[in-house]
Copies of this chain bind each other. A is one copy, B any other.
Amino acid sequence: MIIQCVDGIQPKELENLCRQIAAFGLKVTEVKTQINFYLIALGSYEVDIRRIGSLFGVRDVHRVSDAYKLVSRKWKVAPTVIDLGDGVNIGTGDFSFMLGPCSLESEKQIESVAKFLVANGVRIMRGGAFKPRTSPYAFRGLGIEGLQMFADIARPMGLKLTTEIMDAAQIEAMYPYVDVFQVGTRNSQNFTLLDELGKIDKPVLLKRGMSGTIEELLQSAEYIFMKGNEQILLCERGIRTFEKSYRNTFDINAIPVLKEKTHLPVIVDPSHGVGIRRYVESIALAGVVAGADGAIIEIHETPEKAASDGDQTLNFDETEKLLKKARSVFQAVK
C-alpha cells in the first residue's frame, strides 16, 4: 500500500499517522524522494483501504499488489517524464534517441560523433568511459579523462551524456560530467550501487540483467526510487537464451509488459539486443512500434576501427537511414 501524505505534514502528525497505520498490523517504511514523500505499508491485505484513507494527514492511498510498489503503474498511471535540462526530455510521448560509440576513444572520435548527432537532431550521446569487460586483459575505457573530453567538446554543442557507472565509489568523480548514469546488465542487481544512485539528483538508466526477469528489473528500480531518486529509465537489452545465431535475444515482449506495469520510460538497446550490425535496424524499428520511449544505439564513424563492440555498431549512413525509418514508423503507429 502506498500512502501519500498531505503537503506540509508536521513531524508530530507524521509520527502519529505512522503509529495508527502500524496499529492495523502493517509495517511502515518512510520514503522521501527528491519530489515527494510516501509511506509504504506492507502486510495483510485484509485492511480496508478506506480506513487508512480517512486518517489525518493522508492525501491518497493506493493498494499495490506487486512486489515493487513505487515504480508500479497501479498507483501512478501518468507516465514519468525525465528532464535532462535545456529542453531535452524523455517519456513525453516522443521517441528519444541516445546514440554514440561503445567507448569514448579520443577527442577526434567524440567530435565526429557529436557533429553527426547535432546535424541529425539527436540531443543525447552515449559513450562508455568505464567499461566492464569479461576479460581482465581487454580495453577498460579512458576513465574520467574520456568524460572530460566529452564535456569540453560535446556539451558546448548542446549534447547530453549517458555513460555507464560500475561502482558507487565512482559517483562523485563522474557526477560533474554525466547527465544520465547507466547501470549495466552485470550490475542490475548490485544493490549497493542502486542504493547510492537513489541518493543523487540525476537520472539513472537501469539495464535489465542478462538473465534478469522483468519483475527483478522493476524491483531493482524500486531500490533507486525508495532511496529518493524518481528519475529512472528502464532498458531492455536482450536476454540470454540457447540461440547462437546472434549475441543476445532481444525481448520484444518486455516492451508492452513494462509499459503496462510501470510509469517509468522504457528504452530499447537494439545494439546489444541482437549484437550484429546488419540486424540492428530491424530490432530498433520493432522497439518503436512496440511502444518504447526511446532507443540507445551504438554508432561510430568507422565501426571497423572501434575500440570495442564494432561488430554491432552502425556507421553514419546506416544511422541516418535508421533515424528516417524510425521517425516515419513512429508517426504511423501514433
* A contact residues vs B (CB 8 Å cutoff): 29, 40, 42, 67-69, 132-137, 166-169, 186-193, 209-211, 213-216, 219, 222-223, 226, 239-246, 249-257, 260, 273-274, 278-279, 282-283, 285-291, 325, 328-329, 331-333
Contact = CB atoms under 8 A, between A and B. Distances in A.
A244 B216 CA distance: 11
A214 B190 contact: no
B243 A239 contact: yes
B67 A285 contact: no
A192 B169 contact: yes
Contacts of A256: 274, 278-279, 282-283
A99 B273 CA distance: 30
**Chain copies in the assembly?**
4
B192 A135 contact: no
A283 B290 contact: yes
Contacts of A189: 132, 134, 186
A252 B135 contact: no
Contacts of A168: 167, 169
Contacts of A242: 211, 213, 239-242
Nearest to A67: B135
A289 B240 CA distance: 23
